[in-house]
Amino acid sequence: MKLPWVLQHPPLRVILGLTAMAGVAVGLVIPFLTLTARDRGVSLNAIGAMASSYLIAQMLLQLPMGVLSDRIGRRLPIAIGLLVEAAATIGYVMADSALSFITLRVVQGVGLAMLYPALRALIVDVTPNERRGQAYAGFGAAYSAGLLFAPMLGGIVAETVGVNALFLSAATIEMLVAIGGLVFLRGFAGPRPVVTTGETERVPFRELLAAPLIGAFILSFASQFQIGLFSGIWSIYMDDIGASDVEVGLSFSTFSIAYLLIAPVGGRLADAGTRWRRLLVANLLISGIIITYGLVPSVLVILLLGLVEGAVATVQQPSLDAYLASVSDARIQGRVQGAFTTIGMTGAAVSAFLGSVLYGIAPVIPFLTGGAVLAVLTVVAVLRFIRPAELGGHRLQPAPVAAVASSDTDAR
C-alpha cells in the first residue's frame, strides 16, 4: 500500500509527527481549562479576560516572531515556544485566582506566538507550491489526530483522577515535543536568505499590503473571530445544556474525527485550480453550522454538527493556507505567516471577551454574532480580493521548493 504523499516526504513526516503530539497536549487540557477556572472561583468575565489575554499576546507577538524565524531559522522558535507553553501548563496545577489563570494564559500565548508562524512557514519552506494544499491538509489532520482521543481521555481522567493530572501530562508531552523539534528538525529548520550583491535582499513592508494578501488576511480575521468568541464559553455552554465531562471532551473530538478522515480529499481539492469558490461555499456553510449550534441546544445535535463542520473545514482551511502561500513572496514567508496569524489573533482577541459578555445576555447571541461576522467578511474577502486575484493570475514571487539550509544548522 502506497503511503500518502505527505508521509513520503521526510521533512513533512517529522513536522506532522510533532504536530500530532502537540495536538494531544492541547486536547488533554483545553476542554477543561475554563471549567477548572470556574470551579476554582473565577468569574465568567474573568474567564473572558483569560481568553482575550491569551489571544492578545499572540496578536502582539506573532508578526515579530515570524520575522525572527526568517532571520534565525524555524527550529529554535518552535522548540522554545513549546517549552514556554509547558512551563505555563504546569502552572495551572497551582493556579487559584483570576490573576494567576490570566497570567498563565498570557504566557501560553507568548509560547504559541513563537512557534506557530515558524511552523507554518517551515511547511512552505519544504513543500512545492502545487502540493501545499495537501501539506496543510496533512498538518491539520495531524493536529486533529492528536485531538481525536485526547479530549475524551481527558474527560475520563478529569472525572477519576482530577484535572491536575491532565496539566502535568500535557506539560510533559510539550517538553518532549520541544526536544524532538530540536533533534529532528535539524537540517531543514529554515530557509537560506536570498542574497544579492553580498547582502540579504530587503523586501518592503508594503508587500504585506498587496490586494491578494488582504483577502487572505480578512478571512484569517473572520475565521479566528469564531475561535475567540467560543474559547471562553464553549465548555461552559456544553455544561449548561447538560453535557458530561466526557461529552464536553467529545464535542472537541467530533470535529477532529471528520477532519482526520476527509483531510486527504480536502487537500487534493485545495490544490486543484482556483480556490475562491471553495472558500466562499465552505465558509458560508460553516457560518450556518455556527448559528445552528446556538439555535439547537442539544448535545447529540452539536456532536453531529461537529462532524459536519470538520468535514467542511478539510476543504476550507487547506484552501486558504495554500492560497496564502501561492501569493506570498518567498523571501518573507515568516513575515507573511506572522501577519496572517497576527490578524487572525486580532479577530480572536476582539471576540474573546465579547463572547462572555454576549453569553451573559443570552447563550444564543454569541452563535448568531459569530455566524453573521463569518458570512459577511467571507463575501467581502472572496469577491473583492481573492476572486479577482485568482482570475487575474496574480502571483507574487513563489517560494522555492525546500529552500532549506543544508549547512550551518547548528546555529539554527
One DSSP character per residue, 379-398 reads HHHIIIIIHHHHHTT---PP
Determine, yes or no, domain membership for 198: no
127 CB neighbour count, 10 Å cutoff: 26
More confident residue, 292 or 202: 292
What percent of the chain has pLDDT above 90?
31
Rounded to the nearest 10 degrees, what angle do helices 333-361 and 364-381 cross at? 150
Collapsing DSSP to helix, strand or coil, 161 comes out as: coil
Determine, yes or no, domain membership for 406: no
- Cα-based angle 40, 59, 327 (whole degrees, multiple of 5): 140
- CATH code assigned at 385: 1.20.1250.20
Q: Which residues contact 224 (CB under 8 A, 6 or more apart)?
A: 344, 345, 346, 347, 348
In this predicted model, what pLDDT tens digit does every residue of 158-209 receive, in sequence order? 888 888 998 999 999 999 999 999 998 887 655 544 444 444 456 665 666 7
Among 29, 86, 53, CA closest to 352: 53
Determine, yes or no, domain membership for 88: yes
Determine, yes or no, domain membership for 411: no
* DSSP tag of 130: G
Residue 393 confidence (pLDDT) above 80:
no
Determine, yes or no, domain membership for 408: no
Number of domains in the chain: 1
Amino acid (1-letter code) at residue 111? G
Q: Which residues contact 99 (CB under 8 A, 6 or more apart)?
A: none
Determine, yes or no, domain membership for 285: yes
Residue 410 confidence (pLDDT) above 50:
no
- Cα-based angle 406, 175, 252 (whole degrees, multiple of 5): 105
- List C-alpha distances in Å: 71 to 112, 201, 411: 18, 12, 11
Determine which helix (DSSP H) or strand (DSSP E) holds 303, and give its type and residue range: helix 299-326
- List C-alpha distances in Å: 133 to 25, 84, 207, 264: 25, 30, 23, 10
d(CA 128, CA 117): 18
Residue 57 confidence (pLDDT) above 70:
yes
Residues facing 199 on adjacent strands = 196
Q: Is 176 exposed, middle or buried (0-12, 13-18, 19+ CB in 10 A)?
A: middle
Most confident of 22-26, 210-214, 270-274, 289-293: 289-293
**Which structural domain range is residue 301 located in?**
5-192+205-396
What pLDDT sits at residue 402? 40
Q: How confident is the model at residue 397 (pLDDT cuts 50, 70, 90)?
A: very low
Determine, yes or no, domain membership for 150: yes
101-115, 170-184, 332-346: least confident range = 332-346
Mean pLDDT of 43-61: 84
What pLDDT sits at residue 324? 86
More confident residue, 409 or 130: 130
Residue 346 confidence (pLDDT) above 90:
no
Determine, yes or no, domain membership for 182: yes
Residue 52 confidence (pLDDT) above 90:
no
Length of the chain: 412
What pLDDT sits at residue 87? 96
